Amino acid sequence: MPTTVNAYAATSATEPLTPFRVERRDVGPRDVLIDIAYCGICHSDIHTARSEWGPAAYPVVPGHEIAGTVAEVGSEVTRFSVGDRVGVGCMVDSCGECTNCARGEEQYCLKGNVGTYNSVGVDGQPTQGGYSQKVVVTEDFVLGIPEGIDLAVAAPLLCAGITLYSPLRHWGAGPGKKVAIVGLGGLGHVGVKIAAALGAEVTVLSQSLKKQEDGLRLGAQHYAATSDPDTFERLAGSFDLVVNTVSAAIDLDAHLSLLAVDGTLVNVGAPEDPLSLNVFSLIGGRRSFAGSMIGGIAQTQEMLDFCAEHGIGADVEVIGAQQVNEAYERVLASDVRYRFVIDTATLA
């Protein structure tokens, strides 16, 4: 039987999110029904709810940092049992056959991965995300949350964690590498923890020095303010890798100048408007400008296991679903320390 559950949805680009009822599909043979315990609030939820990346298909129930427990499994499910602690990130399906899916990079599925919300599922219905009580997901896109990480602090790892882990691993962050993380928000603060655990020398580049104490506590060795022009002079040519998590446009040329020869600036922040750069910023140091989107399912599991092993979870502020609009405003004001997480018990 399909289940109807309580949720919070955006109904237009300009109105606050409001209570909403969402229908979850029947549990098919390969499906897992998850009782959602917590769902993180990612800046992408806000970009989508406000149609900043193009028109959203309202109503939209956002949320792709889902942590909970298995409530029911289909007859062919082999990897999960009732009661298991599980998570769901930004995707809930993909074609499974293209070259990218075949090599475990489902996020780059050539037919387009099925997003956890604001997408169309295999049943032809709009997908709806984790600001809700339950969700049904095919087992291939369900992750196991290791014992030792609380569900509330694990939830943000499903998007913020993998979005930083994947490029940090791809571009070889580790001992002897100097890594800068730009923006100390949801993504950035998890990135600092992971880069430090990988053994890199980490610098936080934030708009101001307000979060300096936190940045150092999270594992950074250095911290500098991008509002201070002296920062760009002092740190010129010094990083192997700069990961930009900022949700708005930054001065790419200034940030590229921070790279050593052969260094890479990876953009994971996804602002509404295009960014521009002067090619001489690249030519003048054989530098690369790159992008990266979340990570594949296998690598997401690897990241969760890595975080459990290193005692890494997000720093969270747990809120009731009724506070979601206020939380959005605080995220937009860079006033989040460092991820809002909805306690879905408040949807009952």
One residue of 20, 39, 44, 116 binding Zn ion per CB under 5 A: 44
Pick the stretch among 78-86, 151-159, 165-173, 327-335 that binds Zn ion (CB under 5 A). 151-159
Nearest to ligand NAP of 80, 165 (CB atom): 165
Work out how close the CB of 162 gets to ligand NAP at its nearest, in angstroms, rounded to a whole number.
8
Instruction: Determine, following the binding rule CB under 5 A, whether residue 268 of this chain makes contact with Zn ion.
Output: no
Residue 140 structure tokens? 């291939």
Nearest to ligand NAP of 6, 323 (CB atom): 323
DSSP string, 286-303: T-EEEE--S--HHHHHHH
Pick the stretch among 23-31, 152-160, 297-305, 307-315 that binds Zn ion (CB under 5 A). 152-160
Work out how close the CB of 10 gets to Zn ion at its nearest, in angstroms, rounded to a whole number.
15
Nearest to Zn ion of 86, 256 (CB atom): 86
Work out how close the CB of 89 gets to Zn ion at its nearest, in angstroms, rounded to a whole number.
8
Which residue type, as a one-letter code, is found at position 286?
A: R
DSSP single-letter state for residue 60: B
DSSP string, 304-340: HHHHHHTT----EEEEEGGGHHHHHHHHHTT--SSEE
> If contact means CB under 5 to 8 A according to the sort of partner, which of ligand NAP, Zn ion, none does residue 287 touch?
none
DSSP string, 165-201: HHHHHHTT-STT-EEEEE--SHHHHHHHHHHHHTT-E
Residues that bind ligand NAP (CB under 6 A): 42-44, 47, 159, 163, 183-188, 206-207, 211, 245-248, 250, 268-271, 292-294, 331, 334, 336
One residue of 36, 37, 42, 192 binding Zn ion per CB under 5 A: 42
150 three-class SS = coil
On the 0-12 / 13-18 / 19+ scale of CB atoms within 10 A, 164 is buried
Q: What is the distance between the alpha carbons of residues 345 and 348, in angstroms, rounded to a whole number?
A: 6
> If contact means CB under 5 to 8 A according to the sort of partner, which of Zn ion, ligand NAP, none does residue 268 touch?
ligand NAP
- CA 95 → CA 102, 109, 117, 239, 281, distances in Å? 9, 7, 17, 38, 38
> If contact means CB under 5 to 8 A according to the sort of partner, which of Zn ion, ligand NAP, none does residue 297 touch?
none
Enumerate residues 119-138 that contact Zn ion by CB under 5 A.
none
Nearest to ligand NAP of 5, 41 (CB atom): 41
Q: What is the distance between the alpha carbons of residues 282 and 296, in angstroms, rounded to a whole number?
A: 29
Residue 249 structure tokens? 């446009």
Work out how close the CB of 125 gets to ligand NAP at its nearest, in angstroms, rounded to a whole number.
24
Nearest to Zn ion of 42, 136 (CB atom): 42
Work out how close the CB of 122 gets to ligand NAP at its nearest, in angstroms, rounded to a whole number.
22
* Bridge partners, residue 4, by sequence: 23
Residue 186 structure tokens? 């949801």
Nearest to Zn ion of 137, 224 (CB atom): 137
Work out how close the CB of 45 gets to ligand NAP at its nearest, in angstroms, rounded to a whole number.
8
Nearest to Zn ion of 27, 88 (CB atom): 88
Instruction: Determine, following the binding rule CB under 5 A, whether residue 166 of this chain makes contact with Zn ion.
Output: no
Work out how close the CB of 81 gets to ligand NAP at its nearest, in angstroms, rounded to a whole number.
30
Rounded to 5 degrees, what angle do the CA atoms 132, 137, 141 make?
Answer: 120
Nearest to ligand NAP of 32, 184 (CB atom): 184
Instruction: Determine, following the binding rule CB under 5 A, whether residue 159 of this chain makes contact with Zn ion.
Output: yes
Radius of gyration of the chain (CA): 20
Residue 237 structure tokens? 């040519």
Work out how close the CB of 84 gets to Zn ion at its nearest, in angstroms, rounded to a whole number.
23
Q: What is the distance between the alpha carbons of residues 208 and 224, in angstroms, rounded to a whole number?
A: 8
Binding site for Zn ion (CB under 5 A): 42, 44, 159
